[in-house]
Structure 1
Amino acid sequence: MPLARDIIAAMAILKVIRLGHPALRTKSKEVDRKELSTKFFQKFLDDLAKTCVKNSGAGIAAPQVGKNKRVIVVHVDPKNPRYPNKKPFPLTIVVNPKVLKKSKITKEDWEGDLSVGIRALVPRSKTCIVTGLDRLGKPVTYRLDYGFHARVFQHEIDHLNGIFFIDRVKRKETLSELKEWKRYWKNKKMLRSRLK
């Protein structure tokens, strides 16, 4: 039986593609159960999860590594400096995820992406219910009542439909490169004064 450290060492970090790559604008295909059960696809799931963690992401979708399959990974770690003070969400792989229901009430908050060094304010439903399959093909349902978790799931599922977060930005003036975002927008007081 291999040790956990051996399994982790065997996982690969995949290359995250950048905005402009056609895979980010292509609708992804569903994963059938036969494909899901293969060693090759199971290794891909491990590699995608490791890529998310190593890049300090709150989530990643398969198209971000150039594979147009309906798979997302979500992992909110309170130790991640990019997401301080956020409630944790365990490392989770969801295959063929769908937003079953979402609240009409929306909230605008900052989003970024591993595929581009840009941030912007994006409106999203505050809560949602997501269904899909776990890595073993068993049905799963996530009732996401915490806004940040609901946001991450919606963001990653958008990737599966060829939608990028910048497509949902209403206030275009908030689109900022990461360095400029840290300088001009990160502070809430600065944000309020700029959006008056």
Structure 2
Amino acid sequence: MTSAAPGNHLSPNLPPAALVELVGAVLAQDLPAIVRAGDPVLRRPAQDFDGQLDDAVLGNLISTMRRVMHEAPGVGLAAPQIGIPLRIAVLEDQGVQDPEVAAARARTPLPFTVIINPRYEAADGSVASFYEGCLSVPGYQAVVERPASITATYTRPDGVTVTEGFEGWPARIVQHETDHLNGQLYLDRAVLRSLSADQEHPRWAQPTVDDARRGLGF
């Protein structure tokens, strides 16, 4: 299964000069705000990065995205989430201390990673279902079934394109952020009957979603 992008309501790519101006305006803020669901930038496939920004500006953008991700806090952030329609995302997860949760969710640490122009495909037929949340959709979480193992191809900030395998929770993070770059939110893939407000989610926060399946009927 490859990541797919919706084909409706597309807007033309910004000219390079306009894109540079937009990035400059965002980076001029001390800590850019996270764009929330309902903003069109989250529903349009982002533009490929092909050198529109020089190395210094790209480095500043990546550093800023990392700070925004940490401040939120979150384990991934895509450029459209701060209003920039470029196919760039940052990822980082320290993992969890609870060994039962870590094992059930295959949640191994993911070192800081920048993915530019990513694409992915399932590495095998295995799937996993867990609750996900999103910094652009605050207040709720829902179960999403995703491939448990993927092969992703992306470009690093140094311009080198790599193909890398991801499994477990790191694979989920890569898929979630790549979906953002394709104009998709996790709710597009979610089992909506599982949707839980943050205040209610603790009752379903077990290592697996088995109790939520029984309690919410999905």
Q: Give TM class, smaller chain.
A: 0.7 to 0.9
How big is each residue's C-alpha offset from its partner over 1:101-152, in whole Å with a ceiling of 9 and x where there is no partner? 44332111111001112100001001001111111111122211x2111111
1:14 and 1:162 map into 2 onto residues whose CA distance is 20
Root-mean-square deviation (CA), in Å?
2.4
Aligned amino acid, residue 78 of structure 2: A
Select which of 12, 15, 25 maps to 2:43. Answer: 25
Tell me the equivalent position of 2:193.
173
Give runs of aligned pairs for residues 21-170 of structure 1, distance below 5 A: 21-32=39-50, 34-78=51-95, 85=102, 86-117=107-138, 118-144=140-166, 146-169=167-190
Regions of 4+ moved over 4 Å:
none
- Distance of 2:158 and 2:69 partners within structure 1: 20
Task: Determine the C-alpha separation between the residues in 1 that align with 2:124 and 2:31.
Answer: 35
In structure 2, list runs of 5 or more residues that go unmatched: 1-28
Q: Which amino acid aligns with 1:152?
A: I
- Using the TM superposition, name which of 152-161 and 186-195 deviates more: 186-195
Give the match for residue 32 of structure 2.
Answer: 14
Shift of 1:15: 1.0
* CA positional deviation for 1:80: 8.8
Distance 1:158 1:80, change over 3 A: farther
Which whole-Å CA distance do the structure 1 matches of 2:146 and 2:96 have between them? 24
Letter aligned with residue 179 of structure 1: Q
Give the distance between the partners of 1:37 and 1:79, measured in 2 at CA: 36
CA pair 150-13 structure 1, distance change in 2 beyond 3 A: same
Q: Structure 1 CA distance, aligned partners of 2:30 and 2:116?
A: 19
Aligned residue type for 2:75 = A
CA shift, 1:195, in A, is: 4.5
Q: 1:101 to 1:186 in 2, by over 3 A?
A: closer
- In the alignment of these two chains, the number of paired residues is 181
CA distance in 2, matches of 1:12, 1:101: 38
Identity of aligned residues (%): 29
Q: Is the 8 A contact 1:61 1:71 kept in 2?
A: yes
Q: Secondary structure at the match of 1:67?
A: coil
SS in 1 for 2:48: coil
Partner of 2:19: none
TM-score by length of 1: 0.83
